[in-house]
Structure 1
Amino acid sequence: METSGGIRASLAGRYASALFDLARDQRQIEAVSKSLEGLSQALVDSKDFGDLVASPLVSREAAGEAFATLAPQLQLDPITANFLGVLARNGRKNELSNVIRAFRRLAAEHRGEANAEVVTAHPLNDDQLAALKQQLRARAGRDVNIDASIDPNILGGIVVKLGSQRIDASIRTKLNRLASAMKG
């Protein structure tokens, strides 16, 4: 599969590419995608899980054991469960969020979809996500998957990265432009 050099250039991208290639070869892309979405949600919902992934104090062995214990509870498919063990053994568990993001991009590309990274100050509700998805679809000319994240530092508004395009309609950027204009 042809992927952009940007994905494979990063550490997380190389892991995501390896996971994607394995999932594709075993015709398990959707199962792995579903498991990764569950992991992504667990990172948001569970402070303990987030701490496990982020903490450099958790040894590789302990992380591997914890992931093996959590895999059935999170209903992970065997490929993803094994992959978590690989991340733990290689000391790369802290890359999990980046791997998930890169895998999403690879899966979307495989399905012929575009992927948009969307940053807002507050979570978008389902209606807002649907409207945004429709607008981005019209702009991209194909279906668009949205990878939404929250950054309160933008104060309000939205920042969208769709392919090489970046649309920054955040209040922070508008205030910075105003401050620059006032300086003369």
Structure 2
Amino acid sequence: MNRIFVRTMATIAKKPPISVFGVEGRYVSALYSAASQKNQLEATEKSLREFLKLLAKPKIADFVVSSLIPCNEKAKLLREVGKQAGMPDTAANFLGIVAENGRLKMLRRIINMFIGVMVAHRNEALCEVITAEPLDEATRKTLLEVLKKFVKPGQNILLTEKVKLRVIGGMVVGIEDKVIDMTIARKVLKYTQLLKIGIL
């Protein structure tokens, strides 16, 4: 990685709360350290989450992978875009450095890894629940109480709710690396498979 990047973004290195590896991990470590020093961790995460949405747009994606635009021009443009969008200087400079070093193809992975580091920084446990209908407050409260048994003591549960009609009823709960499928659709599939092989 560019030594200037290491010197400017990680003068006093502060390690991420979880281990990160590879080229992406080195960028994430430097970004975490730089944002920590400037008290810009939350603002940096928020701006990069928004930028991640832009990367899904075809024109932006083409710009990122294009070899026709010199790296220094990409870096200059991204810094300017970052400043105009109100990004903290740590985030805008980070985008410029990644571009200068020709690593924009890794940008999505780097940002996602940084978001994972920030989740650990806040001592959060990511949880996603998928239901056929929106959860009511009583069900949500009960679910959160049950989920506390699956996380480390003191961890905060960050719950994301999605509604998908295909689950029919019940819910799918994903927490950390565990997935629990309690949907009616899953039960129907199970019994259909048993009927096919003649067990029922």
TM-score interval, normalised by the smaller of the two chains: 0.5 to 0.7
Aligned CA distance change for structure 1 residues 113 and 86 (closer, same or farther; 3 Å): same
Q: Which residue of 2 aligns with 1:30?
A: 42
Q: Deviations over 1:1-37 (max 9, x none)?
A: 46444xx124333322221122112221112112112
Give the Cα–Cα distance (whole angstroms) in 2 for the partners of residues 74 and 132 of structure 1.
Answer: 39
The TM-score with structure 2 as length reference comes to 0.61
1:57 to 45, 67, 72: 67
Query: Are the aligned partners of 1:137 and 1:143 in contact in 2 as well (CA < 8 Å)?
Result: no
Query: Are the aligned partners of 1:32 and 1:77 in contact in 2 as well (CA < 8 Å)?
Result: yes
Q: Which residue of 1 aligns with 2:176?
A: 163
Consecutive unaligned residues of structure 1, counting only runs of 5 or more, are 150-154
2:117 to 84, 95, 106: 106
Aligned CA distance change for structure 1 residues 133 and 88 (closer, same or farther; 3 Å): farther
Q: Which residue of 1 aligns with 2:58?
A: 47
Q: Deviations over 1:12-63 (max 9, x none)?
A: 333222211221122211121121122123234x43223323x243545232
Higher Cα Rg: structure 1 or 2?
Answer: 2
Query: Are the aligned partners of 2:16 and 2:117 in contact in 1 as well (CA < 8 Å)?
Result: no
Q: Number of matched residues?
A: 172
Q: Which residue of 2 aligns with 1:152?
A: none
Which stretch shifts more, 132-141 or 86-95?
132-141
Query: Are the aligned partners of 1:108 and 1:114 in contact in 2 as well (CA < 8 Å)?
Result: yes
Aligned CA distance change for structure 1 residues 2 and 94 (closer, same or farther; 3 Å): closer
Aligned CA distance change for structure 1 residues 16 and 115 (closer, same or farther; 3 Å): farther
Give the Cα–Cα distance (whole angstroms) in 1 for the partners of residues 99 and 118 of structure 2.
Answer: 23
